[in-house]
Amino acid sequence: MLASHFFISPQDLWSSIGTARAPQIVDVRRREAYESAQGVLPASAWLDPASADGSTEALDRRRTVVVACEFGHQLSQMTAADLRARGFEARVLEGGYAAWAAAGLPLVDRAALARFAPQRPSLWVTRRRPKIDRIACPWLIRRFLDPQARILFVDPPEVAGVAAASGAVPFDIEGVELSHEGSLCSFDTMLRIFGLGSDPNLARLALIVRGADTARLDLAPEAAGLLAVSLGLSALAGDDDHGLIERGFAVYDALFAWARFAGDERHGWPAKAA
């Protein structure tokens, strides 16, 4: 018998978030429920269920769509069925938001998301020639906040002016909210503001990023490796900032996967039988 692909469990959806293979996540809670909620699914976009049939043009037919409502009943199943009828591979979040919360899985702070990224695609700006924090932060933005986010890299003195002229959100530069706070780096700040710092695996990754970015290699054994790889990628990339972050995303995807699934694995020699 073929396995059912109409539903996806909260745990399976969470395992794919934070990776390049994450599905498109559509939140179809009613407007009043959405606007009164404290949290939203990571990387999700709200879709008005009252006009869902005309609001899916931005969805990529080549990628799976996961639809979520409060309990995984009428709204999400109706939307998923309609998407399937139009040729999308669509699945329903089993149990909806209620099951996600019961599983203790992370949510993005909705008020913070509305303040910094009220429209899609969102626009962000920082200093060019990224090394560590300015790759980690775009990774966090695209993997957990807005997969379609646009990142601008400009000379440091121009960040504020570009932000003012374009409406982009400035980050990782002095004098802005999304930047270093004492001994913490901008990645730490973003985790706190967007409500993701409680996830133990993102917190573990943050410690590595902080150690590499602030010359505190004692904070985590992996920090020295991240520093070396980041500087090497930067040396290879030259002025190709966007090519660099695409390659850098693979590093952060791997570190996050290691923290989630392989952080306790050890290797030695001679090799022991599995």
- 146/191 same-domain check: yes
- 24/124 same-domain check: no
Q: What's the domain count of the chain? A: 2
- 176/97 same-domain check: no
DSSP bridge pairs for 8:
93
Residue 210 inside a domain? The answer is yes
Q: Is pLDDT at 2 greater than 50 in this prediction?
A: no
Query: In this predicted structure, what is the pLDDT of residue 55?
Result: 63
- 71/179 same-domain check: no
Gyration radius (Cα) of the chain, Å: 20
- 181/135 same-domain check: yes
Among positive and negative, which fits the CA dihedral 29, 35, 39, 40? positive
Distance between first and last Cα of the chain: 31
CATH number of the domain residue 43 falls in: 3.40.250.10
* Domain extent for 203: 110-262
- 89/147 same-domain check: no
pLDDT in tens, 126-156: 999 999 999 999 999 999 999 999 999 999 9
Domain termination residue (choose one: 58, 88, 105):
105
Between 218 and 271, name the one with better pLDDT. 218
- 126/66 same-domain check: no
Domain termination residue (choose one: 105, 131, 163):
105
- 49/66 same-domain check: yes
Q: What is the pTM of this model?
A: 0.95
Q: Tokens for 25?
A: 């996540």
DSSP bridge pairs for 153:
126
pLDDT in tens, 41-60: 999 999 988 775 556 778 99
How far apart CA 47 and CA 29 sit, in angstroms, is: 8
- 123/99 same-domain check: no
Query: In this predicted structure, what is the pLDDT of residue 1?
Result: 40
How far apart CA 176 and CA 189 sit, in angstroms, is: 11
- 191/72 same-domain check: no
Q: Name 262's Cβ contacts closer than 8 Å, sequence gap at least 6.
A: none
Residue 268 inside a domain? The answer is no
- 88/173 same-domain check: no
How far apart CA 55 and CA 204 sit, in angstroms, is: 38
Residue 274 inside a domain? The answer is no
